[in-house]
Amino acid sequence: MGCIDHKNSPTAGNHQSGSDHNPFDVMQPRAPLKTPAERKNGRHVKANDIPPQGVYLPNNNIMAPHMKSPEYVQLSTAAAITLGIMGGRMYGCECTRCLNLLLTYPEGCRANCAYCGLARHREADRDYADRNFIRVDWPAVPMAEIIDIVAGDPEASPFHRMCISMITHPRSEDDTFTVLKQWTDRIDPDAIPVSILSNPTTMTRADVQRTKDLGADIFTVALDAATPEVFDRTRGKGVRSPHKWSKYWEILQDARDIYGPQKFGAHIIVGMGETEFEVLNLVQELVDLGGHSHMFCFFPEQGSLMDHLPATPRDQWRRVQLARYLIDYQGVRVEQMSFDDLGRVTGYGIPQSELSGIIEEGIAFRTSGCPGKFQDDISACDRPYGDSPPSDIASYPFQPKKKDLRKIRRQLEIPVRVE
């Protein structure tokens, strides 16, 4: 399970950003279609009760087997390739550094978030195990099989981190504890630390404590929306989904108390209708609390309630990506930055020469998330092409090269420095 960067990757396609930014008025989710009674809650999967036989590769042309956590989990295509469970290649890199796991049930996630491929309304046309999520398929694999592979030699594993993603389901907490315990019983968390991507809606403070006691290293909250208005519209009342902004913040505060500085954070999707000023204020708030922000560029996930909407224009995304990196890792404060009357970044609050050096390092434009073994500001969770196609990369899952940096500078509208 070695892992090296491709030395001769094909060149990326042309930049095709839209203009400016995604305003609130445009980013309205569509209404879900009605789900036939026989497909609600994974009823047909449970009624047919087909026993799983090892690894299940998503295939919407056949009935999904009856699989559920904690015996089964789903994992990202990148993690499956890295583990050797699936064949395939990824543009620019041969592996992922994060083993992303997702709890799985025939009933699926009971929430209905508008941007998400796993959302409840999709039960109308797709079994849970067959749903695309952050642009890729998630094969289902017995948890014991994953542990057996990694436990063979954790120190030599390409994975720098493992992450359990919870979903909205009545069994989500208990099964997270079981999966976490199974892992830490066999694999030293110092060799491969564990992150929890939580679902606060069904959680208590005691649940957060339990994950810590069982050996988790970092606790993150998938806040996703940057403002209460965007939150309500995309994952609350607006789409008949159960989530509440206040509950997410309650669990985030619990995570801060229990996990401590630098060991908690929030996921934020950029370009769902918030302004750049609003999202960067949130980044600052998280830093002031002692945490980090992990950012995703909005992409219209196929089959989601926002699949008709534009991806975040690259200029908006690059401005936020760069400013977030300055706030999160370079000690710059949002108050030092300047914004226009639409809330767009017009100044980063540091001298041009310093800014140029940070752009040139390229780390600001890599995927953001929980750290791996290289350095604190390089995420283990590289999510290859989870928020863009390889032809128009939003979050770079590898260190951007010179040609990538030239493209990034054009997207930022900052002149290319002649070496």
| Site for ligand SF4 contains 164 (CB under 6 A) | no
Amino acid at 371: P
Show contacts with ligand SF4 in window 342-401 (CB under 6 A): none
Geometric angle at alpha carbon 69, from 67 and 75, rounded to 5°: 85
| Site for ligand SF4 contains 118 (CB under 6 A) | yes
Of 67, 80, 83, 113, the residue at the interface with ligand SF4 (CB under 6 A) is 113
CB nearer to ligand SF4: pick between 96 and 199: 199
74: which strand partners? 102, 140
| Site for ligand SF4 contains 251 (CB under 6 A) | no
Helix and strand totals (H; E) in the chain? 11, 10
Whose CA is closest to 226, among 341, 324, 366, 309? 324
Helical spans, DSSP H, in 266-332: 276-289, 314-329
Return phi, psi of residue 286, to 5°.
-65, -40
| Site for ligand SF4 contains 293 (CB under 6 A) | no
Q: Which own/partner pairs from 331-337 qualify as long-range (CB within 8 Å, at least 24 positions apart)? A: 333/284, 334/280, 334/281, 334/283, 334/284, 337/280
133: which strand partners? 136
Of 111, 129, 378, 394, the residue at the interface with ligand SF4 (CB under 6 A) is 111
Other Cβ atoms within 10 Å of 62 Cβ, number:
11
Region from 74-82, 111-119, 188-196, 383-391 binding ligand SF4, contact rule CB under 6 A: 111-119
| Site for ligand SF4 contains 141 (CB under 6 A) | no
| Site for ligand SF4 contains 203 (CB under 6 A) | no
CB nearer to ligand SF4: pick between 134 and 355: 134
Whose CA is closest to 86, among 128, 137, 130? 137
Amino acid at 252: L
Of 45, 101, 103, 119, the residue at the interface with ligand SF4 (CB under 6 A) is 119
Of 199, 284, 379, 411, the residue at the interface with ligand SF4 (CB under 6 A) is 199
The site that binds ligand SF4 (CB under 6 A) totals a number of residues, namely 11
| Distance from the Cα of residue 240 to its chain's centroid | 22
Contacts of 298 (CB under 8 A, 6+ apart): 22, 115, 269, 270, 271, 272, 306, 309, 311, 312, 387
Show contacts with ligand SF4 in window 216-235 (CB under 6 A): 222, 235
Of 167, 179, 221, 251, the residue at the interface with ligand SF4 (CB under 6 A) is 167
Region from 40-48, 75-83, 105-113, 270-278 binding ligand SF4, contact rule CB under 6 A: 105-113
Minimum gap (Å) between residue 292 Cβ and ligand SF4? 19
Minimum gap (Å) between residue 113 Cβ and ligand SF4? 3
CB nearer to ligand SF4: pick between 73 and 111: 111
CB nearer to ligand SF4: pick between 267 and 319: 267
Residues near ligand SF4, by CB under 6 A: 109, 111, 113, 116, 118-119, 167-168, 199, 222, 235
